[in-house]
Structure 1
């Protein structure tokens, strides 16, 4: 275990750049995981840990000590708590950081359950939606250029490991990616052509389109929808947060698919 006590240390400067710069993460192909749960989720998905950074307080925690013991071949650097907080990408550091390579993107065929996120700029919302999608059994997540970075540390922390259960593609041209898709392409909305989510058949292949927190879907992405659904809201509120709307939609799909499977 290496010990570092200077903020000018080359490793700490490198980690700080990764914590704060989307460009650095994109160009290096690296990102940071904060916390034992997130590191364990990466481990379970077969992601290789390149380096570990541990705070003086963190190294005394049994779960972090156990994590280090499982990776005797990974370089570990111990730093004072103040330096760890400086390097950490989150406001409440856990005591352990892992450096990993961002999982590669592929052009594999889309699964039968896909989400498109169009301009979702808040990392917390984005991570939450990815976590929800993973829990609902979604296979693919396509992100447009206007979205927050999927592999940013704050997005990863909100995702709580869901990233590693999805095939994520960023900066996607959605019309090209969905060309030839055989199934429903569903957006949420209101209007004469909208029908209730609960009256829409979702047991087949479905792409869900979810837009930015304020602006909604861009016209180009909205035009791809074959179906528009509305979420019935008997309460006196105007709309749902995009993360909440995504959860309602995706788990209605789960409910329908489970019901179909049980009735076979």
Structure 2
């Protein structure tokens, strides 16, 4: 383990850049995992780290010591003073432990898209995107297709909100959804209000469904609305007009879980 004290250290500069710049992550193919839970989920999925960084305070935690010991000699470990760790961390409340990892291929579609999945259209809020992936994973979804305009799926903030979902499902970015779903044999459901929109709770959700969820405030693009074979709405007896996209997705996905028992 090496101790680093200066912001001018090349490793400190590198991690700070990866934490704050999507361009740097795309350029290097690396991203930052912040927190013991997320790192443990990655290790459980067979992810290999290229670097571990721990703060002085974080090093005193048994959970962190166990994770560092679990990695063993797999990658180098650096220790930073707490203020310097906060400087390189991408989150507002640094955990005291982070790791660098290579991002997987982000745009390689499976030969055939089948089973239930989610399509996220220009969801720009990192917290919402991570929560959507976490919710989908919890509901048994194993594939997420993201269109242009979504937040970067493997950014530190999305990873933190996803709480390990990324390692339980395939997350593909910059997807041409019309091409991806060209041979899809299941239902394609869009949560939109229209003349033919059906109540979610009256819909038979047996069988695979591709769920389409749109951006905050704007909803789905017209091209994706037209791709849907089923329009769905969530009955809302209250006076609000809409739900947060992550909340709407949770209701839809777990109604399908409920129906399929």
Partner SS, residue 223 of structure 1 = helix
TM-score w.r.t. length of structure 1: 0.96
Aligned to 1:118: 121
> Does 2:173 align with 1:163?
no
Aligned residues between the structures: 258
Q: Can you give the 5+ residue segments of structure 1 that lack an aligned partner in the other structure?
A: 259-264
Partner SS, residue 5 of structure 1 = coil
Runs of 4+ in 1 over 3 A off after TM superposition: none
Report the alpha carbon displacement of residue 191 of structure 1 after superposing the two structures with TM.
2.2
Aligned to 1:152: 155
Report the alpha carbon displacement of residue 110 of structure 1 after superposing the two structures with TM.
2.1
What CA distance in whole angstroms lies between the structure 1 residues aligned with 2:228 and 2:27?
A: 34
Contact 1:111 1:139 (8 Å CA) reproduced: no
Contact 1:52 1:99 (8 Å CA) reproduced: yes
Contact 1:64 1:96 (8 Å CA) reproduced: yes
Report the alpha carbon displacement of residue 21 of structure 1 after superposing the two structures with TM.
0.7
What CA distance in whole angstroms lies between the structure 2 residues aligned with 1:178 and 1:96?
A: 40
Aligned to 1:5: 5
Aligned to 2:24: 24
Equivalent runs, 1:216-235 vs 2, <5 Å: 216-235=219-238
Equivalent runs, 1:1-264 vs 2, <5 Å: 1-73=1-73, 74-105=75-106, 106-108=108-110, 109-258=112-261
Root mean square deviation of aligned Cα = 0.9
What CA distance in whole angstroms lies between the structure 1 residues aligned with 2:157 and 2:133?
A: 13
What CA distance in whole angstroms lies between the structure 2 residues aligned with 1:29 and 1:164?
A: 17
Report the alpha carbon displacement of residue 29 of structure 1 after superposing the two structures with TM.
1.1
Q: Can you give the 5+ residue segments of structure 2 that lack an aligned partner in the other structure?
A: none
Partner SS, residue 78 of structure 2 = strand
